[in-house]
Chains A and B, each alone.
Chain A
Amino acid sequence: MDTSSSSSSTQSLTFYDFLDRMRNPASLDLVRSIKSFIVSFSFYAANTENDGKRLQDFLLTMEAAIRDHPLWAGASEEEIDCAIEGLEKYVMTKLFSRTFTSPEDAKIDQEISEKICLLQYFLRPEHLDIPEVFHNAASWLLAEKELQKINAFRAPREKLLCILNCCRVINNLLLNASVSENRVPGADDFLPVLIYITIKANPPQLHSNLKFIQLYRRQAKLVSEAAYYFTNLVSAKSFIVDLDAKSLSINETEFQESMQTARLAITGAQIKSPLALHKTEALPVPSTRGRGHNKVTQNEPSPLPTLDEVVDLLGQSDLGPSKGMQGREGNINGGSCYPFMEAEAGELTIGDVEKLLNLYKDVVKKYTSLCSAVRHLTVSKIEPSVPHLKGTNAQPTPPNQETNKER
């Protein structure tokens, strides 16, 4: 897992190195090829299978071109590799809006996310027979956070890294916990924990992200250990999609009742916690057009300056930097239609007032109508059975509290 060990700063350095070389007049021929490849994408109707194949072919062609190129004369394998990584990131950042997800995929994303929301409400580690020794709230939270970062990146390599980092956290947990127990952990232990983490994390656009990585990550790099852990998340997704009472250590009636209770609970909780809505939103809504601030977790490399540079470099304006930024912000919030949730008072401008007021009205309207709906429901046994899930970002509040407040 070479990629995961290099820190994000080293990573962006190599990307800058790639951009630097591209700026060299000697690389004009390469820049032309790249530019014409990107432009050529707009000539065809989007077709994921073809698009993936074309990108892979292009990367191979370019790899050959770079190997023979005077600018890379005498370069080590590692340098060549960095150049192709830079190229993948550059091209896929430019083609992101065209290649990432489709209406059909977005629908699948939403279905998965909604199912996970229900499962979050009652699923416990015991339902997947995860042994006590692997219960570790801190590690689990860390693994979830890694997975949730997936939409903070556009390059397939970086998205894949989020998955590998998540798996690494789980791996360390299993290995550490096993030493004291004198046991040997294996896939029998790994997969259930990964599934549980995936359900707790409800990573944004899970299906679209997996498909994107599969199609657009350099094929030579989606092998071995990376391929193994990627496959595990694909398999976790597949398990969740097909999940029913028989998939868990739970009886049929209890499962059905829990799902039903969760459905009612979530309808109610969404009134209170608009964040829960973010989680089920499949498509990023770029409702933050023109706003200057960009909330990114501190330790993530921001691709924004990079995008600017890229645009300078190729003098291409069709995918301007501002567009990229809005897409990104929407993504980070998991597709937020409540863009002010993370905002500080000091950041607001006069121009935000109108938007805020509209959102406020919208929320109040939803709140009142849903409240009255909930009051009419006989919600008898709603009790979140996963107390440790509380406090992670979008845990729905149990509606019985909700209704109590109402009275």
Chain B
Amino acid sequence: MGCSSSVPDRTSGRLAGLNSENGGVPDAKNLRVKLVLLGDSGVGKSCIVLRFVRGQFDPTSKVTVGASFLSQTIALQDSTTVKFEIWDTAGQERYAALAPLYYRGAAVSVIVYDITSPESFTKAQYWVKELQKHGSPDIVMALVGNKADLQEKREVSVQDGIDYAEKNGMFFIETSAKTADNINQLFEEIAKRLPRPSPS
């Protein structure tokens, strides 16, 4: 599924898979964020997330690794933490109508396409339009071109990604779940863009 040669070892975390959800009350310093992943089937959504979740080596952070729900906390420089609760969605066309059930209430949406597949880029644009129409108005949107390691097969240019993202006020990045390129940057950038609750 797009990240064949370098699939991180999941076995170690499997037993802890579905662990507890009472990681403290969220406050201004410790955000809890619902992030929904959208994109065509096979673009590597789950690989990106697994890379992110597995790539954090903070032994104190509580990680949840399921097949389609994962959570991970990152610490930012301003000593705040952000716990991402990552909702994966099924990318096959036949499930497209179900997406609103998943992105409802999401603070962040990460829309992924495969740089070797123009169809997946078109699908990504469809999700952007759908979220603009039906998502929460203050949702943070990121456009991600995955499989950046496959330069020789590239069919969607970097510029196309940048232009489309800019036009739609989104954050844009190209990643490779295979080499882990830009994976952490993606989530750190998202964390920075989150609206902070004003301390009350």
- Chain A residues close to B by CB (< 8 Å): 1-2, 4-5, 77, 81, 129, 164, 168, 170-172, 174-176, 178-179, 182-192, 223-226, 228-229, 231-232, 234-235, 238-239, 242, 246-248
B64 contacts partner chain A, Cβ-Cβ < 8 Å: yes
> How many residues of chain B have a CB within 8 Å of chain A?
41
Interface of A is mostly: helix
Asked if residues B67 and A174 are in contact (CB atoms below 8 Å), the reply is yes
Best-buried of A1, A129, A186, A238 by chain B (most CB within 10 Å)? A186
10 cross-chain CB contacts under 8 A: A168-B18, A175-B10, A187-B46, A188-B91, A189-B67, A225-B21, A225-B69, A226-B21, A228-B69, A239-B98
B121 contacts partner chain A, Cβ-Cβ < 8 Å: no
* The residue from B46, B64, B71 contacting A184, defined by CB atoms under 8 A apart: B46
Asked if residues A246 and B18 are in contact (CB atoms below 8 Å), the reply is no
Query: How far apart are B108's CB and chain A's nearest CB, in angstroms?
Result: 14
Query: How far apart are A166's CB and chain B's nearest CB, in angstroms?
Result: 12
Shortest Cβ distance from B20 into A: residue:
A2
Within 8 A of A (CB), among B115-136: none
Contact with A along B1-26 (1 / 0, CB 8 A): 10110010011001001111110000
Residues from chain B with Cβ under 8 Å of A164 in the complex: 18
Query: How far apart are A54's CB and chain B's nearest CB, in angstroms?
Result: 22
Partner-binding segment picked from B82-90, B145-153, B157-165: B82-90
Shortest Cβ distance from A179 into B: residue:
B11
Residues from chain B with Cβ under 8 Å of A172 in the complex: 14, 17
Asked if residues B85 and A225 are in contact (CB atoms below 8 Å), the reply is yes
Q: How far is the CA of A191 from the CA of B94 in the complex (A)?
A: 11
Asked if residues B4 and A183 are in contact (CB atoms below 8 Å), the reply is yes
Asked if residues B14 and A175 are in contact (CB atoms below 8 Å), the reply is yes
Q: How far is the CA of A238 from the CA of B95 in the complex (A)?
A: 10
Query: How far apart are B91's CB and chain A's nearest CB, in angstroms?
Result: 5
- Chain B residues close to A by CB (< 8 Å): 1, 3-4, 7, 10-11, 14, 17-22, 32, 37, 41-42, 45-47, 49-50, 64, 66-69, 71, 85, 87-92, 94-95, 97-98, 101-102
* The residue from A4, A77, A190 contacting B67, defined by CB atoms under 8 A apart: A190
Query: How far apart are B43's CB and chain A's nearest CB, in angstroms?
Result: 10
Shortest Cβ distance from A243 into B: residue:
B94
Shortest Cβ distance from A185 into B: residue:
B67
Q: 10 new A-B pairs (CB below 8 Å) besides A2-B21, A187-B45, A225-B64?
A: A2-B19, A184-B7, A184-B50, A185-B67, A187-B68, A187-B91, A189-B68, A228-B85, A235-B102, A246-B94
Q: How far is the CA of A225 from the CA of B21 in the complex (A)?
A: 7
* The residue from A171, A179, A188 contacting B18, defined by CB atoms under 8 A apart: A171
Q: How far is the CA of A189 from the CA of B88 in the complex (A)?
A: 11
Shortest Cβ distance from B32 into A: residue:
A224
Residues from chain B with Cβ under 8 Å of A231 in the complex: 87, 101-102
Best-buried of A174, A232, A248 by chain B (most CB within 10 Å)? A232
Query: How far apart are A219's CB and chain B's nearest CB, in angstroms?
Result: 12
Asked if residues A238 and B21 are in contact (CB atoms below 8 Å), the reply is no
Query: How far apart are B70's CB and chain A's nearest CB, in angstroms?
Result: 9
Best-buried of A175, A188, A223, A248 by chain B (most CB within 10 Å)? A188
Residues from chain B with Cβ under 8 Å of A247 in the complex: 94
Q: How far is the CA of A248 from the CA of B94 in the complex (A)?
A: 8
Query: How far apart are B74's CB and chain A's nearest CB, in angstroms?
Result: 16
Asked if residues B21 and A187 are in contact (CB atoms below 8 Å), the reply is no
Asked if residues B7 and A182 are in contact (CB atoms below 8 Å), the reply is yes
Shortest Cβ distance from A81 into B: residue:
B22
Query: How far apart are B36's CB and chain A's nearest CB, in angstroms?
Result: 10
Residues from chain B with Cβ under 8 Å of A178 in the complex: 10, 67
Residues from chain A with Cβ under 8 Å of B17 in the complex: 168, 171-172, 175
Given A183-B1, A234-B101, A235-B101, A188-B46 contact (CB < 8 Å): yes
Residues from chain B with Cβ under 8 Å of A174 in the complex: 67
Shortest Cβ distance from A191 into B: residue:
B90
Q: How far is the CA of A2 from the CA of B62 in the complex (A)?
A: 13
Residues from chain A with Cβ under 8 Å of B50 in the complex: 184
Given A182-B4, A183-B1, A247-B94, A175-B67 contact (CB < 8 Å): yes
Query: How far apart are A77's CB and chain B's nearest CB, in angstroms?
Result: 8
Asked if residues A224 and B45 are in contact (CB atoms below 8 Å), the reply is no
Residues from chain B with Cβ under 8 Å of A1 in the complex: 18-21
Asked if residues B19 and A235 are in contact (CB atoms below 8 Å), the reply is no
Best-buried of A175, A187, A248 by chain B (most CB within 10 Å)? A187
Asked if residues A242 and B10 are in contact (CB atoms below 8 Å), the reply is no
Query: How far apart are B93's CB and chain A's nearest CB, in angstroms?
Result: 9
Residues from chain B with Cβ under 8 Å of A232 in the complex: 68
Query: How far apart are B183's CB and chain A's nearest CB, in angstroms?
Result: 13
Q: How far is the CA of A246 from the CA of B92 in the complex (A)?
A: 12
Given A1-B18, A185-B46, A179-B10 contact (CB < 8 Å): yes
Q: How far is the CA of A61 from the CA of B103 in the complex (A)?
A: 30
Residues from chain B with Cβ under 8 Å of A185 in the complex: 46, 67-68
Q: How far is the CA of A183 from the CA of B67 in the complex (A)?
A: 11
Shortest Cβ distance from A235 into B: residue:
B98
Asked if residues A224 and B7 are in contact (CB atoms below 8 Å), the reply is no
Asked if residues A191 and B67 are in contact (CB atoms below 8 Å), the reply is no
Asked if residues B71 and A225 are in contact (CB atoms below 8 Å), the reply is yes
